[in-house]
Amino acid sequence: MSIARVEQSGRQEPTSEDILQQMEKILASDEFHAPERGRQFFRFVVTETLCGRSQFLKAFTIANEIFGRETSFDAQNDPVVRIEAGRIRRGLERYYLVAGQADAVIITIPKGGYVPHFEYAQAQPARNARSVTVDTSPDISISRPLPVLRLAIAGAAVLIIAAALSFAIATGLLGRLASSGNQAAALPPDPIVVVDAFQFDASDNDAADIAQGLRDEVIGQLAKFEDIIVVADASKANHRSATGYTLQGNVQRDGDRLRAISRLVRRSDATVIWANNYDANLSAKSILQIQADIGQDIAIAVAQPYGAIFVSDTNEIARPSGEEGGAYDCMLAYYSYRRTMDLATHNAARDCLQQATDRFPRSATSWALLSLIYLDEMRFHYKLGGPPAPNAQRQAADAASRATAIDPNNIRALQAVMLVSFFANDLDTALKAGAAAYAQNANDTEVAGEYGLRLAMSGNWQSGCELISAAVNKNAGPKGYYEVGMALCAQMRGNLQAAELWSRMSDLQYNPMHRLVLMSILGAEGKTAEALQQRDWLNANAPALMKDIPREIGLRLQRKQDQDQFLSGLRSLGVAAGQPSSPAG
């Protein structure tokens, strides 16, 4: 018979039998969303801990046992274990939110390691818990005590603690609570998205359940994007907000055929700025999986950095307006600039963000975007015109530091730290920041794509290219930006035909580096005439780049063998070693 253990604190720990039963219950639940290798990961860390081998649960051990990595595995350059651990933590969070509210045993994997923690569910005194209430439907609210570091269940109320910390961060709540009184009021408004009740055929009870479940899934997925505020009760939204949207939906069912229709409406003028239909076969997938897939697709289409919300209002360059929406205007100005990549939009976005950080000094996102703007003055100077700004890298680092000091978990701040550190050749800091940002919200395609690029260019091509590919498949922006990453991935594995196809799919006008990649690939393929056309274009339009190719490549490809492979395609043209010259013969 299993005997319960007692912690040093005096609390009784679950028995091994109870823990194993709870593990199997979680793995059997449709609410635990994890791929097969994630399930193997979860089972492995639980059983190894129960066998007394928790001290061996390191990234290296797990990578070898679960992911088949070789003994040369480097956890700093290959984040596969950290990424999967983040997915398992999110899967456990969802399980206890939805299916496991009344479970007696709580299993978590605390951040900072891979050793699971086991405890019996115990009620926590409400007087010590600082909490906020988040509306998840017109009739349901969930109280989230933010500083407590474990889950607790008290009667019918569910207190989401450590596992839901990232949720509170993603909805912007933690940043607001961290600033007290007048400081909280000094934060700029984020765009508000009201998620209406999804419509359905009143005579179809199954459709009603599907519509409610899909709406709940959409709310949960949207809440992971911290650049927006998600509201489930329309009566509590500020309808006077100039940055407000309503997400509407309709569910139709015909036998096993399901169609979900969704549209995003701008409240200021009732304009439909985005709409899409999603079809599914109820006999091929479970309803829960269909709801999860469609909910994720809707959230990404609407709220990703180049999604419907952030594209619809950027036809004109946004400038500070003197109104409360100024910081949001500056965010739009940043995305407008990244789509066009020219000097006029760059300067407009930089000036706007400088004023926004003056007006809203507690806005971590504004500081993070300003950091990225400064960094571009160094890394894209040949596109923007003129020599590199002398203080650009230092200004970028200072702004990123300000962003993380305000909110160390802000996803844009982590993105800024990742890029600033990468171009300062601090790969350890860059990849750690990228992994942390990706763990916050894997659906943020800009973070996933940029992190994938940094991983790949650091030499971890396998994991990096997987993330870049996922970003491309989710229509990550700017248009053509990540396609050039796919071209590099194919080039480095020796598939030059695929590399050329990807390179031509990238936006060759967006950045001269894209043409340099194509020229290298064409040179490696022996397509000299076509490669020289790219050389001539670069000589005419980006002479600064052509004069310093080895340095520019060295800033991006961190391993010498990768640099040599890239430059070999240029050397066949006589281009790589400084001023370009005509190839021999």
SS3 for 507? coil
- Answer yes or no: is pLDDT of 426 > 80: yes
> Can you give the pTM of this predicted structure?
0.64
**DSSP of 201-216:** -TT-HHHHHHHHHHHH
Q: Which secondary-structure segment (H or E) carries 136?
A: strand 131-137
Contact 151, 121 (CB under 8 A): yes
CB atoms within 10 A of CB 479: 14
Q: How far apart (Å, rounded) are the C-alpha atoms in residues 497 and 493?
A: 11
Chain centre distance of CA 251: 28
30-77: per-residue pLDDT in tens?
888 888 888 899 999 999 999 988 888 888 888 888 877 766 666 666
Q: Identical fold at 304-423 and 441-585?
A: yes
Sign of the Cα torsion 90, 91, 93, 98 reads positive
At the fourth CATH level, the homologous superfamily of domain 441-585 is Tetratricopeptide repeat domain (1.25.40.10)
Read off the DSSP letter of residue 188: P
124-155: per-residue pLDDT in tens?
333 333 232 333 333 322 233 333 323 332 33
User: What are the φ/ψ torsions at residue 234 (nearest 5 degrees)?
Assistant: -60, -25
Distances (CA, A) of 320 to 128, 185, 356, 584: 42, 19, 8, 55
Q: Which two tokens stand for residue 181?
A: 């009184």
Per residue in 177-191, is it b (16+ CB within 10 Å) or e — as a string? eebeeeeeeebbbbb
Looking at the domain that runs over 192-303, which CATH code has it been given? Answer: 3.40.50.10610
543-583: per-residue pLDDT in tens?
888 988 998 899 899 999 999 999 999 988 887 654 333 33
Paired residues of 193 in beta bridges: 230, 245
Note the pLDDT of residue 236.
62
Q: Where are the domains of the chain?
A: 1-122, 192-303, 304-423, 441-585
CB atoms within 10 A of CB 139: 8
Sign of the Cα torsion 177, 106, 121, 24 reads positive
Name every residue whose Cβ is closer than 8 Å to that of residue 360 and which is 6 or more positions away in sequence.
186, 187, 188, 326, 327, 366
SS3 for 152? strand
Q: Which two tokens stand for residue 489?
A: 């991935």
- Answer yes or no: is pLDDT of 278 > 50: yes
Q: Which two tokens stand for residue 23?
A: 């593990």
Say if residue 478 is preceded by a cis peptide, omega within 30 of 0: yes
Pairing of strands 140-145, 117-120: unpaired
- Answer yes or no: is pLDDT of 163 > 90: no
User: At 239, which amino acid appears?
Assistant: H
Read off the DSSP letter of residue 582: P
Long-range contacts of 155-162, Cβ-Cβ distance < 8 Å, separation of 24 or more = 155/123, 158/96, 158/97, 158/101, 159/124, 159/129, 159/131, 160/93, 160/96, 160/97, 162/108, 162/110, 162/111
The architecture CATH gives domain 304-423: Alpha Horseshoe (1.25)
User: At 200, which amino acid appears?
Assistant: F
Note the pLDDT of residue 81.
84
**DSSP of 350-415:** HHHHHHHHHH-TT-HHHHHHHHHHHHHHHHTHHHHSSSPPTTHHHHHHHHHHHHHHH-TT-HHHHH
- Answer yes or no: is pLDDT of 185 > 60: no
Q: Region 365-387: what's the mean pLDDT? A: 91
- Answer yes or no: is pLDDT of 375 > 90: yes
3-state DSSP percent of the chain in helix, strand and coil, to 5? 55, 10, 35
494-516: per-residue pLDDT in tens?
999 999 999 999 988 888 999 99
Note the pLDDT of residue 563.
94
